[in-house]
Amino acid sequence: MIEIEGKQVFTELDELVDPSHTALVVVDMQRDFCAAGWAFDRLGVDLSMYPPMIPRLARLIAAARAAGVPVIYVQMTVLPGRLSESPAQIRFNLRLHLASHAEGEPLQYTLDGSEGQAIVDELVPEPGDLVVKKYRSSGFWGTNLDLLLRSNGIRSVVMTGATTEGCVESTARDALFNDYYVVIAEDCVGSDDRAQHDASLLLMRHRFDLATADEIVSVWSR
């Protein structure tokens, strides 16, 4: 910890992820995005980063529960008839995965209440975990995530999930803008585009603290 003009600032990992004021945020680890046989896989999107990442994230989630760290799942949600999507959001959707999808109908995924919206089987929420539905890339935009964090005395968030350059980075930025410390669990985030994943981690490394799952688990298991 350092002090700057009378303000104490966390600088060490054990301060940043102290279980007494940290939450684990799991972004968009949903079947349609990450699992074989579901929406993105059927489009031919590359999901190869997820099988090795999911067991690490499962271990981190288990360590969080054991240490009393709140686990918050952020769940992408699309309402029937695209009632939750503006024209600008639909244009954003059209830009996703042009290589596999091409310009045409917007992507269909994570319809509210559908099986594809569900969290992947390996990471299913347990009683006591929180689930926040979101309708935009950031888990803070138009949701109660900030309220839940503040209501539980949270000062730091450990960010995990998918995709690194998309909803993870968007949520991480908004977490900072809402005055939370942000730690990226760098081996518990993934993408369907490795180049964008690497570029996002390069960018975030200069803005946030990055740590491996093992390093975070080491703090939580003391």
Q: What is the pLDDT of residue 108?
A: 80
Q: Is the pLDDT of residue 105 over 70?
A: no
Rounded to 5 degrees, φ, ψ at 20 are: -70, -15
Tell me the mean pLDDT in the region 113-135: 97
Task: Name which residue leads in pLDDT, 34 or 88.
Answer: 34
CA distance 117 to 121: 12
Task: Name which residue leads in pLDDT, 17 or 110.
Answer: 17
Average per-residue pLDDT in the chain? 94
- Residue 133 bears catalytic tag: no
Q: What is the pLDDT of residue 149?
A: 98
Q: Is the pLDDT of residue 174 over 70?
A: yes
Q: Which of 28, 41, 187, 192 is the catalytic position?
A: 28
Q: Tokens at residue 67, please?
A: 């240490």
Q: Which of 18, 133, 134, 209 is the catalytic position?
A: 134
Q: What is the pLDDT of residue 104?
A: 61
User: In the chain, what is the straight-line distance between the N-terminal and C-terminal CA atoms, in Å?
Assistant: 19
Q: Tokens at residue 95, please?
A: 């830009």
Q: Give the pLDDT confidence of 8-47 residue by residue, as tens digits.
A: 999 999 999 999 999 999 999 999 999 999 999 998 889 9
Q: What is the pLDDT of residue 107?
A: 72
Percentage of the chain lying above the pLDDT 90 cut: 83
- The 10 Å CB-count burial string (b at 16+, else e) for 25-46 is bbbbbbbbbbbeebbbbebebe
Q: What is the pLDDT of residue 92?
A: 77
Q: Which of 18, 32, 167, 209 is the catalytic position?
A: 167
- Residue 198 bears catalytic tag: no
Q: Is the pLDDT of residue 106 over 70?
A: no
Q: Give the pLDDT confidence of 58-78 residue by residue, as tens digits.
A: 999 999 999 999 999 999 999
The single residue listed with the structure tokens 């992947």 is 120
Q: Kindly report the length of the chain.
A: 222
Residues 6+ apart with CB under 8 A from 26: 57, 61, 71, 72, 73, 74, 119, 123, 160, 161
CA distance 173 to 180: 10
- Residue 134 bears catalytic tag: yes
Q: Is the pLDDT of residue 179 over 70?
A: yes
Q: Is the pLDDT of residue 102 over 80?
A: no
Burial class of residue 171 in the structure, from the number of CB atoms within 10 Å of its CB (0-12 exposed, 13-18 middle, 19+ buried): buried
Q: Is the pLDDT of residue 99 over 60?
A: no
